[in-house]
Copies of this chain bind each other. A is one copy, B any other.
Amino acid sequence: MLKDWNKPQEPAEKELEERLLAAREKLSAKQMKIKEKRLPVLVLFEGFGAAGKGSTIGKVIRNIDPRFFKVTTMNAPSAEEKRKPFLYRYFVEIPEGGKFKFLDGGWMEEVTRERLEGTLDENGYKRRIESVKRFERQLTDNGYLVLKFFFSISKKEQEKRLKRLEEDKNTRFRVNEGDLWQNKHYEKCVDVYEQYLCDTNQSTAPWYLIDAKHKKWAELQVLEILVSGIDTALKNSNLAVPLLQNAFPLEPIPSLCDISLDKKISQEEYKEKLDLYQSRLRELHNELYRRKVPVVIAYEGWDAAGKGGNIKRITEALDPRGYEVHPIASPEPHEKARHYLWRFWNRLPKTGHIAIFDRTWYGRVMVERLEGFCSENDWQRAYNEINEFEKELSDWGAVIIKFWVQIDKDTQLLRFNEREHVPEKRWKITDEDWRNREKWDLYEDAVNEMLKKTNTSYAPWHILESNDKKYARIKALEIVIHEVEKVLKKK
């Protein structure tokens, strides 16, 4: 049993029953509030095998309409999931606003299992703890209610339950090797679990230890914590979240106005270098694939800066089975209903693959900021959230290349007019482009702030001077080749 734990007192039978009835009713009543306020609720059930996590989830959801919840059982990561960052399979499971997600097992189980198996060393463990804390904090900062329960039973109680399950041929399959190992090495497990609970006990997402010896008492503890957690979250939903101080190494970067845009390249040099670099990149793509290095290339830039053509010169050199281009438009309803980074987590490449984003998560601090699609507190916080996101990718071993494609206002006007007048290009220009153009100065300020606050050493920005598109394409190829070679050499 976990020590030093301020265990609440189990009430007498009669009080227990009364409180159960009251808590069930309250939870049932809360679900409409949650829907109305679009509160997303993520409930994590961790704990010992046979401690009754599943059956408690079963009782909790009886009080909620199926429209408002999902239950997901997290198994050990599949071969495919192992080719994504550690947090990937959890991030994609977060609920949308107005809904509950109950997770049976989760990142605690994965981290502590790896720790117990000895596949995670001290440094690896520390990195995991960092990732977990950031993940949970990003959720709560972005309006999620995150509740974490740890179900605890004694060694003897667990042994008894496992035996009972094994004796019945219909329940035998529920007892797996891991449960038996856990019971045999109970004390060792307690040490690792306690350490983890302690390391990840955050004020906005604290741990609730559940005394799970008696089923009804376990149910009551969970229900009462759920109800009071929801109450608090609903009350606090409009509070601004404190901004964190930047903790990442930032490199200096010039302001856009200081960037000289007269760089040019001749047609001959262009042809020659394009051929040369594309065939080099083709070789590197094979090597990336073979050595399972993931690459994330992010394109941002002014409308009509030449992002599309630039991306094309990269992809022409790539095997279509090993890359994907993700054009990012405004989010669909099911995307808007979740953490703004969700749709990017969902589009991450697997190891050995390249993902190219045509517009990115930086929309948060540009269009969403300027059009008021999120609050000031939201976009102010986003710089750090994005640095954290990219740190995850970098720690995972990804090559991260971020391009700002830069042109001046006159060049944009020329290109807009061309798009208006050439029939095949008409679809590329919309009224929105013209409206954005009117806000050029506001955008320029936002971009400068973004570049300065997210130009980290592990995921720096590269400016592509694109008044001459050919120059920008060759520069992009050079940078991609250089960055990929750098990472391949290090491995």
Contact = CB atoms under 8 A, between A and B. Distances in A.
A192 interface: no
A20 to B, nearest CB: 16
Contacts of A80: 78, 80
Interface string A279-291: 0000100110110
A327 interface: yes
Contacts of A58: 318-320
B66 A358 contact: yes
A388 to B, nearest CB: 28
Interface in A32-53: 32, 35
Interface in A294-334: 308, 311-312, 315-316, 318-321, 324-325, 327, 332-334
Interface stretch (A67-75, A129-137, A224-232): A67-75
A321 B75 CA distance: 11
A54 B319 contact: yes
A321 B66 contact: no
Contact of A290 (B170, B316, B324, B325): B170
A127 interface: no
A173 B319 CA distance: 14
Per DSSP, are chain A's interface residues mostly helix, strand or loop, or mixed? helix
A316 B73 CA distance: 18
Number of this chain's copies in the assembly equals 2
A319 B170 CA distance: 13
Contacts of A315: 61-62, 66
Nearest to A35: B427
A305 B333 CA distance: 30
B332 A61 contact: no
A173 B290 contact: yes
A173 B171 CA distance: 45
B71 A320 contact: yes
Interface in A422-462: 424, 427
A321 to B, nearest CB: 4
A65 interface: yes
A245 B57 CA distance: 47
Interface residues of A, number: 47
B71 A324 contact: yes
Given A308-B65, A332-B332, A173 B321 contact: no
A62 B173 CA distance: 52
A287 B318 CA distance: 49
A29 B71 CA distance: 47
B67 A327 contact: yes
A150 interface: no
Contacts of A289: 173
B104 A66 contact: no
A58 B327 CA distance: 18
Contacts of A70: 324
A58 B278 CA distance: 14
Given A320-B58, A324-B71, A287 B79 contact: no
Contact of A102 (B54, B170, B320, B325): B320
Q: Which among A61, A65, A427 has the highest number of chain B CB atoms within 10 Å?
A: A65
Given A32-B427, A66-B311, A320 B286 contact: no
Interface of A: 29, 32, 35, 54-55, 57-58, 61-62, 65-67, 70-71, 73, 78-80, 102, 104, 170-171, 173, 283, 286-287, 289-290, 308, 311-312, 315-316, 318-321, 324-325, 327, 332-334, 356, 358, 424, 427
27 contacts: A54-B320, A54-B321, A55-B319, A58-B318, A58-B319, A58-B320, A62-B316, A65-B308, A66-B308, A66-B311, A66-B315, A66-B358, A70-B324, A71-B320, A71-B321, A73-B321, A78-B79, A78-B80, A80-B80, A104-B321, A170-B283, A170-B286, A170-B287, A170-B290, A171-B286, A173-B290, A333-B333
Given A61-B320, A66-B358, A173-B286, 8 more contacts: A61-B315, A70-B324, A104-B321, A170-B287, A170-B290, A171-B286, A332-B332, A334-B334
